Structure 1
Amino acid sequence: MTPLIQAEALHDRLAQGQAPLLLDLRFDLAQPEAGRAAYAAGHLPGAHYVHLDDCCGPKQAADGRFLGRHPLPTREAFAARLAALGWVPGRGVVAYDASGGMFAARLWWMLHWLGDAEVQVLDGGLPAWTGAGHALSTALPPVLPAPVPSDLPPPLLDTVDAATLAAQLGRVRLVDARAPERFRGEVEPLDAQAGHIPGARNRPFALNLAADARFKSSEALRAEWAPLLAGHEASVHQCGSGVTACHNLLALAVAGLPLGTLYPGSWSEWSSDPRRPIARA
């Protein structure tokens, strides 16, 4: 399954009765309930709303360590959350937002983490849908829960924790998806310290998008990403809290390049421990 679906192709599938599980991932980090309000005002027909916080686990480990602002839940908890909306492995899922795929990409990654590759992101999101002349709905779709899978397949995409990453620094290509000024340590509006993990290279996720907020072509993305990854057999991807790093991983999938590993805790976890090294500029 291609990682992206265009608005017209999705419209045709829905018109033919081939309905995937549609998930609305709109969110605003500064206003956590803005996405839910936007969903209530109008969403793709048949779409269910999924709040970012409902796709996260506890921020504190049992030993008191801070795990980041948006840590992953257990795979079992996330599978149960999706099953409550009707997901079964292989059904087919389409995720969208209104932020160029910023939040939908994390859902795409998390489905692969559950072992399910039958997931796509609506390229251009809700603006692409309405821009193509398709209507929105305010009706709440029926919720038809499915059984929670009793035995999940192995993850299709990998994660790395802070301790493992610390031991790998200098031996893997580490890519930071945050904005350049945060990467350089000039500003830090959210996390404990400013800066970046030593050795990281900056590739802001917004560079994956064309002017219309759709992903660039596979050829363009391959041309941009290949030099960044050259000479490294493995890559690790991070951002502020493990969300926009998934956008970079989705871009690699669109480009047809090898997918790397996600560091879910990202800078929010790394910077919370003053014993960990940081770099600036």
Structure 2
Amino acid sequence: MSGLLVGSLPQECVMSIAQLISPEQLAARQKTPGLVILDCRYALEDSDYGQRSYAQGRIEGASFADLKRDLSGPAIKGKTGRHPLPDPAALLQCFQAWGINADSDVVLYDDGPGMYAARAWWLLAWMGKREGVYLLDGGLKAWHAAGLPLSLDAPNREPGSFSGEPDMSIVLSGSRLHGRLGRPEMTLIDARAEARFRGDVEPLDPVAGHIPGAQCAACTDNLGPDGRFLPPEQLRQRFAEKLQGRPPESLVSYCGSGVTACHNLFALCLAGYPLATLYAGSWSEWINDPEHEIATGAG
């Protein structure tokens, strides 16, 4: 059934694995049979925030996808990052429990800039679900601004049958990244805010700074003042400045723990580029190894 918006989007967006849906478009298609909606709300400083918010009201039909419980594996202090990738078998069980089939249309949202929804999008792509997956443009704030209601009704969902395997070609380990440092053919971008990139502040991890050779590409710069994604041509210009003539396949995205990095990967695809590589462990994993270099300042 994939193709929720075919016929209503520009062709370049239909062909991309990164697709957006507006609140009005979702509201008009909310009763589409088999549509899966996932509420991905979360707060790094309050791990129960998403579940509480979901219980207080969600888009009708939405199931809750918890970053820590569902979209991440167990964090091991001193070894992994804060949000390691989940076990593929456990992730598949979540997908199926949420009602996802191979041909399902899936809409993802949160109430921030979309980074948690983008993590869910990337995990679906990692496991092979690359068609019919949409981010709600502007998230729950745009939904509210459109005057659309929330619901307290439990989702009525039949289990799905989606089955896939992880594509490890789009994931980079810390050791492999370390071996590539200094190579001119790699484009390494950091999705954290500039102050964290420079090392001026570090609210979440014990060491401040960034991976040597990285460029700051704060994920919030993918959005306009209204909280919606920039047009594809503006995103192309943004990432072309980072690539500096290198092929898009050279790009590796990281952040603090492998979540906001997915926002940049989504925006990159929205701009018409192919899906690039995620350093899933990101900064919180990188700093566990005393042999890993650390840089501070502008770059």
TM-score (norm 2): 0.87
Query: Equivalent of 1:268, from 270, 284, 288?
Result: 284
The range that moved more, 152-161 or 71-80, is: 152-161
Q: Does 1:5 align with 2:21?
A: yes
Question: How far, CA to CA, are the matches of 1:243 and 1:278 in structure 2?
Answer: 20
| Aligned partners of 2:96 and 2:160 also within 8 Å | yes
Query: Equivalent of 2:104, from 72, 75, 91?
Result: 91
Question: How far, CA to CA, are the matches of 1:14 and 1:157 in structure 2?
Answer: 35
RMSD after superposition:
1.7
Which position in structure 2 is the counterpart of 1:67?
80
Q: Helix, strand or coil: the match of 1:80?
A: helix
TM-score (norm 1): 0.93
Cα 1:205–1:157 change in 2 (3 A) is farther
Unaligned runs of 5+ in 2: 1-13
Which position in structure 1 is the counterpart of 2:60?
45
**For 1:136-182, what per-residue CA distance to the aligned partner results, in whole angstroms no more than 9, with x for missing partners?**
10111124223463xx2563971000010011112211000001111
**For 1:58-101, what per-residue CA distance to the aligned partner results, in whole angstroms no more than 9, with x for missing partners?**
223xxx86110000012222111111121122212110001021
Cα 1:166–1:49 change in 2 (3 A) is same
Query: Equivalent of 1:187, from 177, 201, 204?
Result: 201
Question: How far, CA to CA, are the matches of 2:169 and 2:104 in structure 1?
Answer: 19
Cα 1:136–1:157 change in 2 (3 A) is farther
Which position in structure 1 is the counterpart of 2:73?
57
* Equivalences, count: 275
Report matched runs for 1:113-128 at 5 Å. Answer: 113-117=126-130, 118-128=132-142
Which position in structure 1 is the counterpart of 2:217?
203
Report matched runs for 1:1-281 at 5 Å. Answer: 1=14, 3-15=19-31, 17-53=32-68, 54-60=70-76, 66-117=79-130, 118-147=132-161, 149=163, 152-153=164-165, 155=167, 158-171=170-183, 172-233=186-247, 234-281=250-297
Question: How far, CA to CA, are the matches of 1:186 and 1:110 in structure 2?
Answer: 31
Question: How far, CA to CA, are the matches of 1:141 and 1:50 in structure 2?
Answer: 13
Question: How far, CA to CA, are the matches of 2:264 and 2:197 in structure 1?
Answer: 15
Q: Helix, strand or coil: the match of 1:259?
A: coil
Q: Helix, strand or coil: the match of 1:52?
A: coil
Q: What is the CA-CA distance between 1:219 and the residue it aligns to?
A: 1.2
| Aligned partners of 1:238 and 1:264 also within 8 Å | yes
| Aligned partners of 2:114 and 2:138 also within 8 Å | yes
Question: How far, CA to CA, are the matches of 2:152 and 2:258 in structure 1?
Answer: 31
Unaligned runs of 5+ in 1: none
% identical equivalent positions = 45
* 4+ aligned runs moved over 6 Å, structure 1: none
| Aligned partners of 1:196 and 1:267 also within 8 Å | yes
Question: How far, CA to CA, are the matches of 1:29 and 1:273 in structure 2?
Answer: 23
Q: Structure 2: which amino acid aligns with 1:82?
A: F
